[in-house]
């Protein structure tokens, strides 16, 4: 296979990797809770960046935001594939052991959060993931092309919609609490 990336682009790629690999990996560990999976998805994220180099797609305006968006999408794709795999299994059982019930509860909670995130629109998902990945409001504003003063409102609405999706509809008595 011939390498279509020039030495200049390769150096730029290496610089981007050094500058952003750690934050991408940290973001993926946060999303997945699995260090090994985060490593794999980090490599795949940078593989996508490398494939993009030298194409007609142009330069990235904000490489960090692009990398975290790609990483998030790869994680969501992994979650969806895992959920499909679990659904295909006729009798999903947790391995026997003293912590089996607790582990199953953790898995159920993670899957519930992932399902709730999947039901949100992409803007809500992205703003929540960026904020919970440590992005500052100014960075979120730039990544989502928002006015910095509106990030708090967008984030609050996304959090409310997530809570409503995750918890389900509330009754009148619940709303008074």
How far apart are the C-alpha atoms of 143 and 8, rounded to whole Å? 26
pTM score: 0.49
Write the pLDDT tens digit of every residue in 89-143. 644 454 555 566 677 777 888 888 888 888 888 889 889 988 888 888 988 888 8
What the chain holds in terms of domains, given with CATH numbers, is 1-92 (1.10.1740), 93-177 (1.10.10.10)
Report the pLDDT value the prediction gives residue 78, as an integer from 0 to 100. Answer: 86
- Work out the angle at residue 126's Cα, subtended by the Cα atoms of residues 60 and 59, and round it to the nearest 5 degrees: 5
Q: Identify whether the C-beta of residue 120 lies closer than 8 Å to the C-beta of residue 161.
A: yes
Q: Identify whether the C-beta of residue 162 lies closer than 8 Å to the C-beta of residue 117.
A: yes
Mean pLDDT of the residues in the chain: 80
Confidence band of 88 (pLDDT split at 50, 70, 90): low
How far apart are the C-alpha atoms of 28 and 105, rounded to whole Å? 22
* Residues belonging to the chain: 177
């Amino acid at each position: 296979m011939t390498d279509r990336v020039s030495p200049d682009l390769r150096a730029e790629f290496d610089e981007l990797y050094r500058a952003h690999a750690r934050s991408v990996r940290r973001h993926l560990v946060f999303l997945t809770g699995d260090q090994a999976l985060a490593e794999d998805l980090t490599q795949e994220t940078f593989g996508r960046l490398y494939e993009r180099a030298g194409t007609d797609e142009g330069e990235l305006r904000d490489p960090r935001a692009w990398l975290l968006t790609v990483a998030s999408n790869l994680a969501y794709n992994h979650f969806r594939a895992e959920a499909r795999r679990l659904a295909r299994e006729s009798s999903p059982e947790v391995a026997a052991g003293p912590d089996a019930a607790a582990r199953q509860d953790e898995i159920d909670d993670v899957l519930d959060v992932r399902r709730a995130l999947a039901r949100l629109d992409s803007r809500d998902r992205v703003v929540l993931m960026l904020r919970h990945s440590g992005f500052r409001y100014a960075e979120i504003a730039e990544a989502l092309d928002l006015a910095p003063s509106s990030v708090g409102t967008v984030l609050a609405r996304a959090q409310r919609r997530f809570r409503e999706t995750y918890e389900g509809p509330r009754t009148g008595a619940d709303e008074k609490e």
